[in-house]
């Protein structure tokens, strides 16, 4: 059984939906029905899960000789002192 209802939408969203429906040769009702079916389906919840973040298998890490964040801070301090000596040129 099909029911009628009133939906309040922002005018720009409605215009975009009307254009999309016309471009696809379908009705606005059909477009909205498909969208609602997608949102309420179990498959849409599955699709919304985020994929795992890819992790590089390449080796790397800190530069040789740098073993911790403290080493990086010391290197930055040395670079800053060098800039002071050169006058920030």
pLDDT at 62 over 60: no
Average pLDDT across the chain, whole number: 81
pLDDT of 9-48, one tens digit each? Answer: 999 999 999 999 999 999 999 999 999 998 888 765 566 6
Residue 17: CB atoms within 10 A of its CB come to: 15
Share of the chain above pLDDT 70, in %: 76
Write the secondary structure of the chain as one string of H (helix), E (strand) and C (coil): CCCCCCCCCCHHHHHHHHHHHHHCCCCHHHHHHHHHHHHHCHHHHHHCCCCCCCCCCCCCCCCCCCCCHHHHHHHHHHHHHHHHHHCCC
Predicted TM-score (pTM) of this structure: 0.48
Tokens of 77: 């301090």
Mean pLDDT of the region 52-69: 68
pLDDT given for residue 20 in this prediction: 94
Mean pLDDT of the region 54-75: 71
């Amino acid at each position: 059984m099909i029911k009628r209802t009133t939906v309040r939408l922002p005018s720009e969203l409605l215009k975009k939906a009307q254009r999309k429906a016309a471009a696809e040769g379908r009705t606005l009702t059909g477009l909205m029905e498909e969208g609602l079916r997608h949102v309420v389906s179990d498959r849409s919840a599955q699709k919304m899960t985020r994929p795992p973040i890819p992790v590089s298998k390449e080796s790397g890490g800190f530069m040789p000789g740098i073993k911790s964040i403290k080493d990086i801070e010391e290197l930055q301090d040395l670079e800053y002192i060098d800039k002071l000596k050169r006058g920030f040129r």
